[in-house]
A and B are shown apart, each in its own frame.
Chain A
Amino acid sequence: MSTPASSPSTRILTKGNEAICLGAVAAGCRHYYGYPITPQNDIPEYMAAHLPALGGTFLQAESEVATINFILGTSASGKRVMTSSSGPGISLMQEGLSYMAGSELPAVIVNISRSGPGLGGIAPSQGDYFQAVKGGGHGGYRLIVLAPHSVQEMYTLTMLAFDLADKYRTPAMILGDAIVGQMKEPFVASPYDPSSTAEKPWALTGCAGRERQNLKSLHLKDNAIEVHNWKLHEKYERIRNEEARAESYMLDGATIAIVAFGTAARVSKTAIQWARKEGIAVGMLRPITLFPFPGREVFELARKVDVLLVIEMNTGQMVEDVRQCTPLHDRIAFLGKPCAMPTPEEILERIRTLAGRKG
């Protein structure tokens, strides 16, 4: 098992799931609760081995329903706290996540997703996109959703997730899959550079010397829940305006632009390199934040290129958000594969076809 590097210049061969743990610990998270499920068990394994020695808490809860409520409680006390699971377990957490969004409580939730629906299988999948970005639980809320595509990003985006969750007082999710979770590659433990050091005057820390305060998602008085919903809405709009992130990859002069996130984007990079060598002008816009979705970038890109090729490890979810961002629907093509990753060869084949089609 990897341990944090002693020098920032040291490359360590690290598994994606472990990089998440290293990022969480670097960002000051000392509390982790969870319930085992493949393919994310490296995360609780690491946290169980390391958090107690750092003065923190590792707890294997009796279920995911219990887990998310432990997370809620720890967050209410003002501590940075994280859990991780995979599709079925994340589903069990939806009630608690809705309560946390309503109570405006930050935490980091990791979904190393697997194939579904139901118990599905352990093959890598991006089938949880809808659940992650559309709220997931009841009542109408949003999670901040970050989609790493490398071991290094598993680390840096976990640190960012803690910062954004605190800044906006809302749960943030890392959405990965079995490939980016299980793969190893050289990784550098860059120092944590907090983008926000939000004070938490709202935390429940004992009311000696100050007014009593509470945290709740229940609002029964007059129009209190309507007011609260508008407040949350304004927050989500602020997140949309200020936090969208995307990588532009080889888009210079591109006539075909792939739109893909996470592992699908990673695999696409190889296909793009091959296609460029064949003289095909193809690049990629890679959403790093799935909520907020980089809609403006997609809108601009759609006007510039002939084809937007959306690639996902599902039968078509993010492609709906792409359609929403541009009126140029006839420029959108889709390549999907549920519960498996298209190989670079398959992606190259589609790029060639698209390049030929437009002559």
Chain B
Amino acid sequence: MTGDIIMAGFGGQGILMIGNLLALTAMEEGKHVTYFPAYGVEMRGGTANCTVVVSDEEIGSPVVGRPKGLLIMNGPSMEKFLPMLAPGGDLVINSSLVEERQVTRNDIRLLPVPADDIARNKIGSRQMASMVALGAYVARSGIVKLSTVFDCLPKVISKKYEKFIPLNINALKEGAALAGFHA
């Protein structure tokens, strides 16, 4: 499986966390992978985005002009990145914060995920929103196996927070279910 994705939102939403997790998962599955983060100077509230490229072959560019996947966690990111998405590409939007009418293209595969609402109401922690979105993207794209994502969680979550791993797994599963995948 080969693919690339740009994930974008504001600082503090966990964009870089889920990008790093996806990259690590791809590596664990024996793939070639690059992860390139870009973020503002603020700790929270600035822009945050990252590009993950997964391939069976050696990767040239870690920078992508026409990504096959796009995961959008807030409104401003939609305006910036939607024009870049390749035709037929997967668009996962956090429909708790992004209105569907902002999706001005119909040549892409849209998957609206009320990530903040699910995180708050079903998981019990709004911080899990990015994990819900990642679960949906992984299930929709098939870029890696969801079970490998679960296995990699302990590698990106520090010991101090390991008690939250089950919450993260639940969040990933809720997202995957929205893409029609039941773990």
Contact = CB atoms under 8 A, between A and B. Distances in A.
A345 interface: yes
Interface in B52-73: 59-66
Nearest to A11: B27
Given A184-B20, A186-B27, A344 B34 contact: no
Contacts, number: 66
Nearest to A348: B65
B37 A270 contact: no
Of A38, A185, A267, A341, the most chain B CB neighbours within 10 A belong to A185
Interface residues of B, number: 20
A266 B23 contact: no
Contacts of B36: 179, 182-184
Contacts of A343: 61, 63-65
A267 B61 CA distance: 4
Contacts of B24: 13
Contacts of B61: 266-271, 343-344
Interface string A11-22: 101000000000
Residue among A186, A268, A345 facing the most chain B CB atoms (10 A cut-off): A186
Interface in A271-295: 271-273
Contacts of A273: 60
Q: Which residue of A11, A179, A273 has the most chain B CB atoms within 10 A of its CB atom? A: A179
Contacts of A344: 60-61, 63-65
Given A11-B27, A184-B20, A186-B27, A267 B63 contact: yes
Nearest to B66: A345
A184 B63 contact: no
A182 to B, nearest CB: 6
Contacts of A122: 41
A283 B60 CA distance: 13
A111 B130 CA distance: 34
Given A183-B35, A186-B33, A269 B60 contact: yes
A193 interface: no
A267 B60 CA distance: 6
Q: Chain A CB within 10 Å — which of B23, B35, B61, B66 has the most?
A: B61
Contact of A185 (B37, B59, B63, B64): B59
Interface of B: 20, 23-24, 27, 32-38, 41, 59-66
5 contacts: A13-B27, A184-B36, A185-B32, A269-B60, A344-B61
Interface of A: 11, 13, 38, 122, 179, 182-186, 266-273, 341, 343-346
